[in-house]
Amino acid sequence: MGTRSFKFAAASFHWVVSIVLALSLLPAFELARLPLRIDWSRFLSMFWVHIAATSVVFATLLYLWGFSLQQTALPLWNRYWHQKPRFAVLAVFAAAMIWEFGLLPGALIVVAAIILSEFFDRAGGDLRKLWESASSVLIPAAYLFVGLVLVFCYNDLTASLRFVGQYDSAFNRFDAILFHGLTASSLSNAALRHFPLGFFRFLELIYYGMFNQIGAALIIVPLCFGRKRALEFVGTVLTAYYLSLVIFFIWPSVGPFSISSTHFVVFPHSLVTYQYQKLFVAKAHGFLTRQMPFRVDTDYYIAFPSMHIAQPLIVLWFLRERKRIALLLLGYDVVLVVAILLLEWHYFVDLIGGVLVALLAITMVDARVHAAQSEPYERPVREAWEEEAASLLTVPARESD
């Protein structure tokens, strides 16, 4: 009885913490004598427009890679082949979007429109099915968004109360001890001498593309395993973030870029990473000294533990049953580790901390590792999709008159 109660409490940890953090937000800012100003336009555009659009595309690519053509592309092709006016409508729409927004943004909009129309078609216009599909994704996504806003709020609050680089030198020395003098900064400086600028631009694509893994998992997990499983995935990610907030308050560190004497001299100024890192240092100092207007933005100061490695590990765990997708993401994450270090975002120790936090969060939240949990998951939306896909492959119906 005691073990079951403990497991229930661990699995419910993120719900309780989310509520406590939300209720304590205004009092905490008042106690710190700071205004609770959140840049909502930035948060909404970043998470619900940019990351959402790119995540939909990334999820589609993973879906095409991880499932058979009979489940993915062939039903779509059959639908368009039997309703040929769709090709003309799609061509006009694509031309208009690319003309209005440019090649890449326009292409993303077109892909998103095709996917949304496919949702509608595979649901057969049934509002109940559409709601089942949409809510299984949107409800967990909304919970993740709320949790992340809370994380950013308390992250900035900590930066206004403590010197966020207090333990950077200690972590850097720890790296040097573990790896016989090798540090993230020395590794980055060596790479800068041997690799062209394009290599680092590629690393930036990999580093910032990590967020698309989270968004893609938010789409694939509920469609494959149901909404309950998706909420467990989100709860695991938030649990890792909440643990990181506590660790950051105790041992604050920003990253090797903040203490390297040569980083802002030799690191390519044209890279987005250079601009971000310089801004983070300036903002952290401005918040602490009250010399900069306080506003909660998407700045993230926590180096240890690295959530840039913890989150992909959580994604791999929840998608491990889709072996083709998991193997592809594993290859991506190997390159991601290189990007994390060579862009000087994290210490080696941060990666170890990220792994430990991910393992702890998974152990706490995931019901499938709790022996006492034996409730079946709801019927995944994907099963209904497969039934619809099978009917489209065998019945040449829905032709235009």
Question: Strand, coil or helix: what is 255?
Answer: coil
Report the C-alpha gap between 190 and 342 in whole angstroms: 9
Instruction: Note the pLDDT of residue 360.
Output: 96
One DSSP character per residue, 223-244 reads: HHH-HHHHHHHHHHHHHHHHHH
The whole-number pLDDT of residue 368 equals 65
pLDDT in tens, 17-52: 999 999 999 999 999 999 999 999 999 999 998 898
Structural element, H or E, at residue 178 = helix 168-178
Can you give the pLDDT at residue 203? 97
- Cβ neighbourhood burial of 265 (10 Å; 0-12, 13-18, 19+): exposed
Please give the full DSSP string across 286-352, using - where no structure is assigned.
HHHHT-S---B-S-----SS-HHHHHHHHHHHHTTTSHHHHHHHHHHHHHHHHHHHHTTS--HHHHH
pLDDT score, position 200: 97
pLDDT at res. 390: 52
Q: How many residues does the chain have?
A: 401
- What is the rounded distance in angstroms from the CA atom of residue 314 to the CA atom of residue 234? 10
Residue 144: C-alpha distances to residues 139, 214, 219, 297, 318 (Å): 9, 10, 13, 16, 16
Q: How many CB atoms lie within 10 A of CB 28?
A: 16
182-201 in b/e form (b: 16+ CB < 10 A) is ebbbbbbbebbeeeeeeebe
User: Distance between CA atoms of 314 and 208, rounded to whole angstroms?
Assistant: 17
pLDDT at residue 373, as a whole number: 43
Q: How many CB atoms lie within 10 A of CB 112?
A: 18
How many angstroms separate the Cα of 345 from the Cα of each of 79, 122, 260? 46, 43, 11
Burial class (CB in 10 A: 0-12, 13-18, 19+), 170: middle
Task: Name the residue type at position 346.
Answer: H
* 8 A C-beta contact, residue 165 and residue 259: yes
pTM, to two decimals: 0.88
- For residue range 82-137, list pLDDT tens digits in order: 888 888 888 998 899 889 888 888 887 888 788 878 777 776 666 677 777 788 89
For the chain, residues with pLDDT lower than 70 are 1-2, 123-127, 367-401
Q: Which residues contact 110 (CB under 8 A, 6 or more apart)?
A: 90, 93, 94, 97, 98
Q: At what angle do helices 381-394 and 127-161 cross, to 10 degrees?
A: 140
- For 229-238, letters b (16+ CB in 10 Å) and e give bbbbbbbbbb
Does residue 280 contact residue 301 with C-beta atoms inside 8 Å? yes
